[in-house]
Amino acid sequence: MKLSKAQYDEIAQFLGHVQPTRQSLRKLKEKFPSQSQSTLLSIFSQEYQKQIKRTHAKHHTAEAVETYYQRYLNGVMKNAAAPVLLELANEVDFAPSLMARIVLERFLQEREQAIPSKTLINSMLRDPSQIPDGVLANQVYQCTVNDCCYGPLVDCIKHAIGHEHEVLLREMLLEKNLSFIAEDQLRAKGYDKTPDFILEVPVAVEGHIIHWIESKASFGDESSHQAYLQDQFWSYWNRCLLLAFIEFLGVQYEEAFVTYC
């Protein structure tokens, strides 16, 4: 089913009063049973990311970093098996994976007497077994697997979902016998920024002529549309673009939005 602006606002308002945990996701589904879980998860993730961006700076001041690091050290000294970092992240309302990054970077800086590279940090977050401290490795792992919006595990899931929707969209186009040029074909011809599919013969959908399609495996709220317009869509064609949620070829994208022109 389609989601109205009023329904979206109601969901977003509800999310403003709950913590970003799997328990909150269950509450969200109970509150809005008519919406699919994938749609609710996508909105949940986007609203939480907006919140994190608003508060990101205060968690990265020198004072905050040192406070978090000392609390981590004191916590694992008392009980190394307790989810110290995860509980600390939930207490200060910060993403567990981002809290793990802060503490890991501080730990490596103290150990190596130098600022660690982002490449090293990212590698250790993806594979905590590389961390030269077993207790911290376990703490980082707990944060990663319990973070439903950030971290390497979430990044992998998002990438897989994005690829899945591109495959589904390709299958829809083939099913409808529509001739198209895919992104990989366009890149092979030397094009830099391209949509996922250009229709060789435009089609009409809900009164609009469609020339190309870009699929995003995320919920298309107003801020997302504006960001993608500035960063990506304007480069496709230097003319007026029309963005909307559509039931494309008779199949509704609930958690992906399609931009077309």
Q: How far apart are CA 68 and CA 89, in angstroms?
A: 9
153 vs 236, more confident: 153
The predicted structure's pLDDT at residue 62: 95
Tally Cβ neighbours within 10 Å of residue 43: 23
Tally Cβ neighbours within 10 Å of residue 157: 13
Q: How far apart are CA 244 and CA 167, in angstroms?
A: 21
Query: Which pair of structure tokens corresponds to residue 64?
Result: 């905050």
Number of H helices, E strands in the chain: 11, 7
CA distances from 261 to 23, 56, 58, 80 (A): 40, 36, 41, 56
Q: How far apart are CA 196 and CA 225, in angstroms?
A: 16
Query: 123 near 131, Cβ under 8 Å?
Result: no
Q: How far apart are CA 203 and CA 261, in angstroms?
A: 10
The answer to which of 94-108, 113-127, 231-245 has the lowest mean pLDDT is 231-245
Give tens-digit pLDDT for 90-105: 999 899 999 999 999 9
The predicted structure's pLDDT at residue 248: 36
Query: 22 near 148, Cβ under 8 Å?
Result: yes
Q: How far apart are CA 195 and CA 224, in angstroms?
A: 16
Tell me what the mean pLDDT of segment 42-58 comes to.
87
User: CA end-to-end span of the chain, whole Å?
Assistant: 23
> Residue 115 carries which DSSP code?
P
Give tens-digit pLDDT for 155-188: 998 888 888 888 999 999 999 999 988 888 878 8
Query: 99 near 85, Cβ under 8 Å?
Result: yes
Tell me how far the alpha carbon of residue 169 is from its chain's centroid.
20
Look at residue 135 and tell me whether its pLDDT is greater than 90.
Answer: yes
The predicted structure's pLDDT at residue 74: 97
Instruction: Tell if the pTM clears 0.85, that is, is over it.
Output: no
Query: Which pair of structure tokens corresponds to residue 225?
Result: 């549309």
DSSP-based three-state secondary structure for 180: strand
